Structure 1
Amino acid sequence: MSTAPLIPRLHLWEIDDQPWFPSFLRAYVQAGLTHAWTVHIPLLQPSSPATIVAETLRRVLGPSASRHTYIDFCAGAGGPTPSIERALNAQLSRAATHRVPATARSGVVDGESRAAADNTPSYAAVADPKAKSATVQDDDCQVDFVLTDLHPHVESWDAASKKSDRLSYVARPVDAANAPADLLQRYAGKGIFRLFNLAFHHFDDELARAILKNTVETSDGFGIFELQDRTPTGLLTCFAFGFFIFLIAPLLYWWSPMRLFWVYVIPVVPFVLVFDGLISCLRTRTADEVEALLRTCGANSDGWEVKSGKEQFLWPFGYLHWIICTKKST
């Protein structure tokens, strides 16, 4: 058992969750959160948090990483999941090239390796699509991702899904505590792995147990990924994020004077990102606390194994905290 944080968990409210918060400002804040997951700042970051999530899934799940369908049950406007999908499938494709005869990989492997690292197509793959297809013997190494939420963002999801054949969405509301049977049956061919990206801390204990109960009864694993925790360094990361928004907003939003207005003239967006980030720190559970909920959720969790850790995504003190729970192999 790890040492409990000095700061107790407090289930306080966040501005972005409130019905009175204007929807257009909520969209700006959510876009900022998405960029927190997907932007890679050279020298300060080894890679984006979304890429680190994909690397963590592949490392912790091992060979079973390619035997799951990944369903994001709290996708919001899309968040990091489209980027995680691209990164994980790129990494799985890269791993598959090592099983292809050298004659099929000639002239392509180096370019594809670089592409897997930064999630962009290599020159060789663009110039010779047939050569790209030769790096993967079959489609078995690729995995599907599905976006769902109690409050669907169909327009955003549709735009994201058009960029990848491996990303889809469910247009109707989906309750993570009571996943629709037809949704689960649709992806029964592979094991279902649930994703909670910057989401699990939003649930109070009662709802968290209900979600975990439904997960244990209908899924093969789940992953909780947070960009904050209940530590002084976690709180400092939130302030650092607000500072970086001021620095990089012109690069991200040069095309939208209105967004820049709400960042610089009336800085609502950075204020909400920092304020909600601090509250998120206080709401975030440790791995031990999640496991305690899992063991008391009302479902038989004896066959489930809990792993956790953290990976640095921003120098000097920004860490991605992950909890991955799966059924023990028999």
Structure 2
Amino acid sequence: MKLRLHLFEFEDLPWFPRVIRAGMMDYLRFMISSLGIYQPIVPLLRNALEQTSQASMLELCAGAGGGTEGVVRTLQTTGLPAAQVTLTDLYPQPAAWQLLASRTPGLYFAAMSVDATAVPAHLGGFRTVFSAFHHFAPPTATALLTDAVRQRAGIGVFEGAGKHWAEILLALTVLPVAQLLITPFIRPFRLSRLVFTYVVPLIPLFTIWDGCVSILRMYAPEQLLALAHRADPQDTFIWQAGKVRHWWGPEVTYLIGLPRNLGA
């Protein structure tokens, strides 16, 4: 599917209740971590870190932090024992991140608000964006990549889907049922999550809408490359984009950019 519709997602709206947004992000983190959605990109990420001579990652737009939790553990056990990640977001979630940090060596977080299009210079490391790049319209997406180019920071953008109509069907049918079944097991425990899932089911309803819209808003690999070249008109980075498949079927769409002349 190459069609891209930039419809709105409720979680992006400034007035959207924080408690509902947190419940949706907690569910997304739980699913990503439990299913190992991003394990297929570990070899790509390890290669990028090795080429940039880094072991530290800076996750932008981290949400509840499910993107790199399993990834950093796998990196640590497959050739990069010093791998670590610092989670950041425009809307930080320190309570959720503290839980991840307590159980994942090498996982840290910055509690301040961080704009992915203007990252403070003191926050170094290979930049990653998991499950969030589709939130940005082309001008803002380009600005995010431009900031990485300007600061000569390697960057990897990863979306946990292949942008297929079948994924929208799953978001409408199977995933809502799964959400109702697993919500009691999500940690940290929040009474509000139970209330807004089972009593007033706002979290599942908004998750269905945002899940479908996320797939429609995703950039295909060729669109990611077009954004990258717009952000890097002087061709100072090496860019690659594509898809990798999980052993049990799902795909991950990615864009990776590395500065040229790293030894200079």
Q: TM-score, normalised by structure 1?
A: 0.69
TM-aligned CA distance change 1:34 to 1:302, over 3 Å: same
Alignment of 1:1-330 (within 5 A): 5-6=1-2, 8-40=3-35, 48-58=36-46, 60-61=47-48, 63-64=50-51, 67-92=54-79, 141-184=81-124, 192-239=125-172, 240-252=174-186, 258-297=192-231, 299-312=233-246, 318-327=250-259
Query: Any idea what the Cα deviations from partners look like across 1:78-135, whole Å, max 9, x if unmatched?
Result: 2322332222212236xxxxxxxxxxxxxxxxxxxxxxxxxxxxxxxxxxxxxxxxxx
Query: Any idea what the Cα deviations from partners look like across 1:274-305, whole Å, max 9, x if unmatched?
Result: 21011111110011111111111255234413
Asked whether the 8 Å contact 2:55–2:82 carries over to 1, the reply is: no
Query: Structure 2 counterpart of 1:278, which letter?
Result: C
Bigger radius of gyration, 1 or 2? Answer: 1
Query: Structure 1 counterpart of 2:123, which letter?
Result: L
For 1:219 and 1:162, how far apart are their aligned partners in 2?
31
SS of the residue 1:88 aligns to = helix
Asked whether the 8 Å contact 1:229–1:282 carries over to 2, the reply is: no
| 1:214 Cα deviation after fit | 1.1
Asked whether the 8 Å contact 2:67–2:131 carries over to 1, the reply is: no
For 1:221 and 1:297, how far apart are their aligned partners in 2?
13
Select between 78-87 and 11-20 the one with higher mean Cα deviation: 78-87
Give the aligned CA root-mean-square deviation in angstroms: 2.8
Asked whether the 8 Å contact 2:222–2:241 carries over to 1, the reply is: no
Asked whether the 8 Å contact 2:155–2:258 carries over to 1, the reply is: yes
Q: TM-score, normalised by structure 2?
A: 0.85
Asked whether the 8 Å contact 1:287–1:308 carries over to 2, the reply is: yes
Aligned residue number for residue 130 of structure 1: none
State, as a whole percentage, how many aligned pairs show the same letter.
28
| 1:37 Cα deviation after fit | 0.5
For 1:312 and 1:51, how far apart are their aligned partners in 2?
7
Query: Structure 2 counterpart of 1:228, which letter?
Result: A
Gaps of 5+ in 2: none
For 1:51 and 1:321, how far apart are their aligned partners in 2?
12
Asked whether the 8 Å contact 2:38–2:67 carries over to 1, the reply is: yes
| 1:250 Cα deviation after fit | 4.3
For 1:268 and 1:37, how far apart are their aligned partners in 2?
21
For 1:87 and 1:328, how far apart are their aligned partners in 2?
27
Asked whether the 8 Å contact 1:308–1:324 carries over to 2, the reply is: no
| 1:29 Cα deviation after fit | 0.8
For 1:13 and 1:273, how far apart are their aligned partners in 2?
13
TM-aligned CA distance change 1:234 to 1:164, over 3 Å: closer
Query: Structure 1 counterpart of 2:114, which letter?
Result: V
